[in-house]
Amino acid sequence: MIFEDLGLGPDVLKAVTDAGYRVPTAIQEKAIPVALQGRDLLGCAQTGTGKTAAFVLPMIDILSGSRAKARMPRALILSPTRELAQQTFENFEIYAKNAELDAALLIGGTSMRDQEKVLESDIDVLIATPGRLLDLIERGQILMRGVKFLVIDEADRMLDMGFIPDVERIVGFLPPLRQTLMFSATMPKEIRKLADKFLHNPKEITVAPPASPAEMVEQSLVRVANARDKGKALRKLLEGEAVGNAMIFCNRKRDVDSLTRSLRRFGFDVVRMQGDMDQRSREAALSAFKSGEAKFLVCTDVAGRGIDIFGLSHVFCYDVPVNAEDYVHRIGRTGRAGHRGRAYVFATPEDSKGLAAITRLIRRDIEEVTVDGKAAEHTAAPAEAEPDEADEAPKTENKGRRKKSAAKKDGKAKKADKAADKEAAQPRDDDEPAKAESRRRRKKERDDEKVPFGKGDHVPAFLMRSIVIDDDSKDARSA
Ligand code: AMP
């Protein structure tokens, strides 16, 4: 099938050709004719299947021909995250370049004033995250009565993020007579319930079995003995494989931060994205990653959701995700639009349950690989070390060898040490006493092992004394 067979108008077809698309993807082939008929649609499709064009292209066709009135948009696309909304907005601009339609992006973390100003002009399409849109509706800045075309994108993620009550309120402002398209990567029963509520006699379209991982992704499992070994294994893979660019997923925000610092210390071009960062920093990180200025993006699931990097070569699950479905979302960042991709998941013995949930969900085992030709052993697992603890000195190294290696340290390694010290002294959001104690102990051990550079064998005792940073009191001060 070709795009011309789908019933789209000439302006949209030209934009599609200019975008370099030759044939429609499966979801586009099935969804576009249905949407053009004006029917509601429930699409089960993963990211990377071309689902954005599947709803944006018919939307442009339907809206073309008439114009919006001020503050009365005619279509609304709801996205769970700012990044996905931003990406949909960028896609809209490409696909609607020959149509006289204007879109506004309404997302949190950016100036409310600017967005209010944009809404003063005639906007046809709103692309929004639920929270910011509700704020603007409640301030009386937009009238939703004219919205006749609604898209709820990544509905399962909306559910995970607790946005469904907001979505329900927003839908309450829309006219009941409208066309609604809902997309979801997975179809749990809560999503079906929502579909019953929001959609009217929808055509259901599934392009891949629910939660089946992208077929173009070669998946591998790296077993490591403990958290500390993950860092080493990751660096080996980043250095050894032909990694063009990669997203590296962590479960926790603070691990995103520490892994980023650690990788930087080892000279990798890394940026990070996690939910506590302000919108400007997130955008700066994303643009550095998209432009290739930074090869690696370390992120959490929420921040990394919906990010579409054309030709992303690798995905690393630094942690086994808490929800098995997130594994599918993570690896779906690569292997998109006909390109092959590679995904690695690192697992410690503690991750066996999480791993089993993934293999149950994807209905297959993940091929186990060894890094550096040596199988990681699943024995003794003193997994207390944090990800950024991975260093060039193995744990078993004795002090004598360590002295020798310290004397040989090049400038880069010294810099890395300095960064580690600075980091150890930094306040963290983790205030569990056991962990704080463990950090203090590790900092002390590091100080005790340190050989002052260029001081000879005799070192005044006061120089060798360790300084113990009281993390708890620091945390309390900075809270
Ligand atoms: P999506 O699933 O909407 O995030 O799209 C994934 C990627 O596929 C994006 O980079 C799109 O630009 C690309 N894409 C969408 N439709 C097509 C198509 N028909 N042919 C080639 N690439 C496409």
Instruction: Based on the fold, state whether residues 402 and 445 are members of the same structural domain.
Output: yes
Q: The domain spanning residue 238 has which CATH number?
A: 3.40.50.300
Query: In a mutational test of the pocket of ligand 1, which residue from 2, 16, 17, 21 has the highest number of ligand atoms less than 8 Å from its CB?
Result: 21
For residue 226, being part of any structural domain is answered with yes
Contact call for residues 279 and 107 (beta carbons, < 8 A): yes
Instruction: Based on the fold, state whether residues 276 and 146 are members of the same structural domain.
Output: no
DSSP designation for 380: -
Domain end point (choices 339, 360, 385)? 385
- Nearest residue (CA) to ligand 1, atom 1: 50
CA pair distance 374, 116, nearest whole angstrom: 58
What pLDDT sits at residue 28? 95
Instruction: Based on the fold, state whether residues 415 and 381 are members of the same structural domain.
Output: no
Q: Please, what is the end-to-end C-alpha distance for the chain in angstroms? A: 59
Tokens coding 379: 């024995």
Instruction: Based on the fold, state whether residues 113 and 243 are members of the same structural domain.
Output: no
Contact call for residues 183 and 204 (beta carbons, < 8 A): no
CA–centroid distance, 157 to ligand 1, in Å, is 20
What pLDDT sits at residue 68? 65
CA pair distance 255, 404, nearest whole angstrom: 31
- Nearest residue (CA) to ligand 1, atom 10: 310
What pLDDT sits at residue 275? 84
Instruction: Based on the fold, state whether residues 202 and 246 are members of the same structural domain.
Output: no
For the chain, helix (H) and strand (E) counts, in that order, are: 20, 14
Instruction: Based on the fold, state whether residues 149 and 263 are members of the same structural domain.
Output: no
Q: What sign for the dihedral angle of Cα 392, 398, 399, 402?
A: negative
Q: Which atom of ligand 1 is nearest to the CA of 47?
A: 2
What pLDDT sits at residue 266? 94
Instruction: Give the other-Cβ count within 10 Å of 48's Cβ.
Output: 24
Instruction: Based on the fold, state whether residues 70 and 144 are members of the same structural domain.
Output: yes
For residue 321, being part of any structural domain is answered with yes
Residue 311 sits at φ, ψ, to 5 deg, of 70, 30
Domain end point (choices 344, 360, 385)? 385
For residue 472, being part of any structural domain is answered with no
CA–centroid distance, 25 to ligand 1, in Å, is 8
- Nearest residue (CA) to ligand 1, atom 21: 21
CA–centroid distance, 56 to ligand 1, in Å, is 12
For residue 212, being part of any structural domain is answered with no
Contact call for residues 25 and 163 (beta carbons, < 8 A): no
Q: Which atom of ligand 1 is nearest to the CA of 310?
A: 10
DSSP designation for 212: P
Report residues whose beta carbon is within 6 angstroms of any ligand 1 atom.
21, 24-25, 28, 47-53, 308, 310, 336-337
Contact call for residues 63 and 147 (beta carbons, < 8 A): no
What pLDDT sits at residue 208? 63
Domain that holds residue 68: 3-206
Domain count, the chain: 3
CA pair distance 4, 17, nearest whole angstrom: 10
Query: In a mutational test of the pocket of ligand 1, which residue from 25, 84, 154, 216 has the highest number of ligand atoms less than 8 Å from its CB?
Result: 25
Q: Which atom of ligand 1 is nearest to the CA of 22?
A: 20
User: How far is CA 352 from each of CA 108, 184, 356, 366, 383, rounded to the nearest angstrom?
Assistant: 37, 28, 6, 13, 14
CA–centroid distance, 90 to ligand 1, in Å, is 12
For residue 17, being part of any structural domain is answered with yes
For residue 300, being part of any structural domain is answered with yes
CA–centroid distance, 67 to ligand 1, in Å, is 28
For residue 454, being part of any structural domain is answered with yes
- Nearest residue (CA) to ligand 1, atom 4: 48
Instruction: Based on the fold, state whether residues 358 and 459 are members of the same structural domain.
Output: no
Domain end point (choices 158, 185, 206)? 206
Residue 37 is which amino acid?
Q
CA–centroid distance, 367 to ligand 1, in Å, is 28
Give, for all 479 residues of the chain, the pLDDT tens digit.
899 999 999 999 999 999 888 889 899 999 999 999 999 999 998 777 889 999 999 999 999 977 767 678 999 999 998 889 998 999 999 999 999 999 999 998 888 888 888 888 889 999 999 999 999 999 988 999 999 999 999 999 899 889 999 999 999 999 999 999 999 988 888 899 999 999 999 999 988 643 455 567 889 999 999 888 999 999 999 988 788 899 999 999 999 999 999 999 999 999 999 888 888 888 899 989 988 899 999 999 877 776 777 778 899 999 999 888 788 888 888 876 656 789 999 999 999 999 999 988 887 889 999 886 443 333 322 333 333 433 333 333 333 333 333 333 333 333 433 433 343 333 333 333 444 444 444 444 343 333 333 233 333 333 333 343 333 333 333 32
pTM of whole model > 0.85? no
Mark residue 76 as left, alpha or beta (left: phi above 0; alpha: psi -120 to 50; beta: remaining): beta
Please name the helix (run of DSSP H) or strand (run of DSSP E) that holds residue 395, with its range, or none.
none
Instruction: Based on the fold, state whether residues 224 and 191 are members of the same structural domain.
Output: no
Tokens coding 417: 């040490």
CA–centroid distance, 286 to ligand 1, in Å, is 19
Which residues 6+ apart lie within 8 Å of 394 measured at CB? none
What pLDDT sits at residue 452? 31
What pLDDT sits at residue 58? 97
Q: Which atom of ligand 1 is nearest to the CA of 306?
A: 4
Q: Which atom of ligand 1 is nearest to the CA of 337?
A: 8
CA pair distance 329, 249, nearest whole angstrom: 11
CA pair distance 153, 347, nearest whole angstrom: 31
Instruction: Based on the fold, state whether residues 345 and 404 are members of the same structural domain.
Output: no
